[in-house]
Amino acid sequence: MELFTAGLISLEDARRNMLAQVSPLSDSETVAITAAAGRITAEAVISPLNVPSFANSAMDGYALREADFTRDLPLAVAGKAFAGAPYQGEWPAGSCIRIMTGAPIPPGADAVVMQEQTESSGQGVRILAPVKKGQNIRLAGEDIRQGASVLAAGVKLGVGELPLLASLGISQVSVVRKLRVAVFSTGDELQPVGEPLAAGQIYDTNRFAVHLMLDALGCEVLDLGIIKDDPAALRAAFRQADAQADVVISSGGVSVGEADYTKQMLDELGEIGFWKLAMKPGKPFAFGRLPDSWFCGLPGNPVSAAVTFYQLVQPLLAHLTGQQADALPPRMRARASEVLKKSPGRLDFQRGVFSRDATGDLQVRSTGHQGSHVFSSFSQANCFIVLERERATVQPGEWVEIEPFNALLGG
Ligand code: AMP
Ligand code: MG
């Protein structure tokens, strides 16, 4: 493991390095499915049932024995089967049963004819179309077999998964315990929202942004507030955070030259790499081990803090909770609809707005000023425009990569 890198380190190398050091949590807990949204499965979920659990009709119509079918010869209707109210009696040869969608197939029936292919009269029901054995019958276990794995371990539970568990009668599920994440901001200039600003002070954006993203990721957040650029205060904050959390996230004070006391504290307390990432925004970033937790040091500039959290911390937290799916949405190609200013040397995450052009291709434009302190760029954007490290200014019509925002950034 390379802790101190003299040159610039690529985002990919940084991400690989982080994930290689960290193993997923092994603690799990059992929760009701009504309280499990956003949680991650700790083990595979096995179906206790066949689905459907009994053969049933896929149509409103008539259940019959295929052998009884003669075109144009009416069949007597011997009874009715409804969803939740099966037909249970005998039914004579040459007759049929009126059946509704979802009703159990009456014993002996081997086909269902849809109502639209029949004609009722005083003599019974005439079938107007050919009949094949098995038609319009949903077989027991056709969808899910009892004992089959319906969800793997490491799956995030949401609208796609929890109703499935409900349909199987599974009321509780084993999930990875919530990550405890401590967050604080560093900087003598920072004021909490709601307080007046004195000369030279600014409001603390990063702790709020990180807190929101941690909430959205389902973490338990310990908010330790704003810590002054003071060695004793920083040491106390790091100690407390490390004792209480799985992951400690701070912002500010990790840039070179102005690495102030944060770097000094961290060298004293843990084994931390101070990286200069070849990405923009977000050059300085720190990652490593404190005695009892993992540490991520975000840059101070709010856009840099948000982008590094999104691109590096988000995959780390997903990995820690054992998630199998990619934490970040796939990238796509779009045509630049205007000039995108860029100088070679760093991977650029510009904030952009993508849409479809008249021919159906994706097109993307910039949100404008891309300074790492311009947080409004996020509120206007729906994607990152990801410009490769060596690329220079992009001309209108050139293809670029975009990465649509996920739910963390309102995608
Ligand atoms: P630093 O990395 O501490 O030198 O901070 C870099 C820049 O980001 C400075 O302009 C800081 O004032 C600003 N900054 C640091 N932390 C925050 C924060 N929590 N919210 C808003 N701006 C911040
Ligand atoms: Mg600072």
Q: Is 229 in the pocket of ligand 1 (CB under 6 A)?
A: no
pLDDT in tens, 342-376: 999 999 999 999 999 999 999 999 999 888 677 88
CA of 248 to the centre of ligand 1 (A): 18
In angstroms, rounded to a whole number, what is the distance separating the alpha carbons of residues 385 and 338? Answer: 12
- Most informative mutation of 186, 190, 227, 373 for ligand 1 (most atoms within 8 A of CB): 190
pLDDT band at 11 (very low <50, low <70, confident <90, very high): very high
Give the pLDDT band (50/70/90) at residue 291: very high
- Residue 284, token pair as written in the block: 């300085």
Residue 370 CB–ligand 1 contact under 6 Å: no
Q: What is d(CA 160, CA 374) in angstroms, rounded to the nearest whole number? A: 36
Ligand 2 center to residue 301 CA distance, Å?
A: 9
Measured in Å, residue 252 CA sits from the centre of ligand 2 at 5
194-226 pLDDT tens trace: 999 999 999 999 999 999 999 999 999 999 999
Rounded to 5 degrees, φ, ψ at 210 are -65, -40
Residue 3 is predicted with a pLDDT of 42
- Cβ-Cβ contacts under 8 Å for 386 (sequence gap 6 or more): 331, 347, 348, 349, 400, 401, 402, 403
195 pocket-lining for ligand 1 (C-beta < 6 Å): no
Residues near ligand 2 ion, CB 5 Å cutoff: 187, 252-253, 300
CA of 187 to the centre of ligand 1 (A): 7
CA distance 227 to 272: 19
Model pLDDT for residues 296-337, shown as the tens digit of each residue: 999 999 999 999 999 999 999 999 999 999 999 999 999 999
Which pTM was predicted? 0.89
Give the per-residue pLDDT at 5.
43
- As beta bridge partners, residue 203 has 191
